[in-house]
Chain A
Amino acid sequence: AQSVTQLDSQVPVFEEAPVELRCNYSSSVSVYLFWYVQYPNQGLQLLLKYLSGSTLVKGINGFEAEFNKSQTSFHLRKPSVHISDTAEYFCAVSEWKGSQGNLIFGKGTKLSVKP
């Protein structure tokens, strides 16, 4: 079974500083990877996804992630964060059990941006 590890449960950072949220996955076969964001009291929104092609993926709100197959990582980055980026961030990997597909989520990283 696939698994996703988000190494940091909380990441505090000052406004306009760069940030990296780390994600490692377990699969050794073709993978499809996602980052979702959950703003306070809201549902999950897709930030970006890696399906194939370029290993650098750009998403909404200035975020990007790099797929690194040799390190089985998919870290999320933003060069300059805003207060409004304060949210919970979830990394996920696609998994198939027979003919049924699903997403396996990490435990989430809480990004707190301080003024």
Chain B
Amino acid sequence: DTAVSQTPKYLVTQMGNDKSIKCEQNLGHDTMYWYKQDSKKFLKIMFSYNNKELIINETVPNRFSPKSPDKAHLNLHINSLELGDSAVYFCASSQPGLAHNEQFFGPGTRLTVL
């Protein structure tokens, strides 16, 4: 029973296109995140949503826009894709109110921009 799921697993597209990645969690968590993992495996947080409200928005181009239709879903829309957007994108969730912030991760979406 998948806890955090992402679709698609692989996404290959041309520069300038607009694409979306979907994330869903069935853990009943209130907080969801998007991370970007570059080719050197470095994990960088992009966004954090708490119960459909944007909490963290790190220095990310405004071409990236998260959208949360409900607290179980956090989708990532990317406009005007660039070569440098190629990376693996991970969705995660956690339950606020727990001091330790343990996060549960999805399987990742590998985005390749040609």
Q: Enumerate chain A interface residues (CB-CB to B < 8 A).
A: 32, 34, 36, 38, 42-46, 49, 51, 88, 90, 94-97, 100-103, 105, 107-108, 110
Contacts and interface: CB of A to CB of B under 8 A. Distances in A.
> What are the 8 tightest A-B residue pairs by CB atom distance, in nearest-first order?
A32-B100, A101-B101, A44-B105, A43-B105, A43-B107, A94-B101, A105-B43, A108-B41
A23 B58 CA distance: 25
Contact of A107 (B42, B101, B108): B42
16 contacts: A32-B100, A34-B102, A36-B105, A42-B108, A43-B107, A46-B102, A94-B100, A96-B101, A100-B50, A100-B55, A101-B31, A101-B98, A102-B56, A102-B101, A107-B40, A108-B43
Where chain A touches its partner, the secondary structure class is strand
Contact of A100 (B4, B56, B104): B56
B58 to A, nearest CB: 10
Interface centre among A36, A46, A102 (most CB of B within 10 A): A102
Contacts, number: 58
A42 to B, nearest CB: 6
Interface centre among A36, A42, A96, A100 (most CB of B within 10 A): A100
- How big is the B interface, by class? 20 to 34
